[in-house]
Chain A
């Protein structure tokens, strides 16, 4: 029961962040949607580790957090036009 509630809540967050990523008027809006999406997905991966009772997914969450941070920084610097 709790798993269904938490997956639904995370699904709502992912859905709205993806909508902002798709319909964002400017490029900055899309990058903001992508940033939010990445943090929500990191939480989702940790919750999947709890749901499947497998500690392997925590390593995946660490690597995903590092890659999403690099992605945000690189997109921001690229859009800034240095």
Chain B
């Protein structure tokens, strides 16, 4: 049980690091929402389940946090993406003829 918890915790840490890296690296608001939300949701699930496996008496509160993240994280990203789309945020388009024209970002 302890070994499975440790493996899940390390997998969760890797996914949290990848989520932060994706938020930093992606060129566009929508790409950033995509990368950040999905990777950090999976990473948080895995890390919390790992802590719950390592300490089984905490499992009730851990499952409460997991359910809360599973409900609120997609809602938050959806509301954010809708607001960005309604305000007409910058969209990154890969143009074969001129890449440097698309490099200026945002307003």
Contacts and interface: CB of A to CB of B under 8 A. Distances in A.
Contact of B58 (A13, A25, A36, A58): A58
Given A16-B21, A20-B32, A39-B44, A62 B13 contact: no
Contact of A55 (B9, B58, B72, B79): B58
Determine the main DSSP class of B at the interface with A.
helix
A1 to B, nearest CB: 10
A11 to B, nearest CB: 8
Contacts of A28: 29, 80, 83-84, 87, 89
Interface of B: 6, 9-10, 12-14, 16-21, 23-25, 29, 32-33, 36-37, 40-41, 43-44, 47-48, 51, 54-55, 58, 61-62, 64-65, 68-69, 72-73, 75-77, 79-80, 82-84, 86-87, 89-90, 105-107
Interface of A: 2, 5-6, 9-10, 12-17, 19-20, 24-26, 28-29, 31-33, 35-36, 39-40, 42-43, 46-47, 49-50, 53, 55, 58-59, 61-62, 65-66, 69, 72-73, 76-77, 79-81
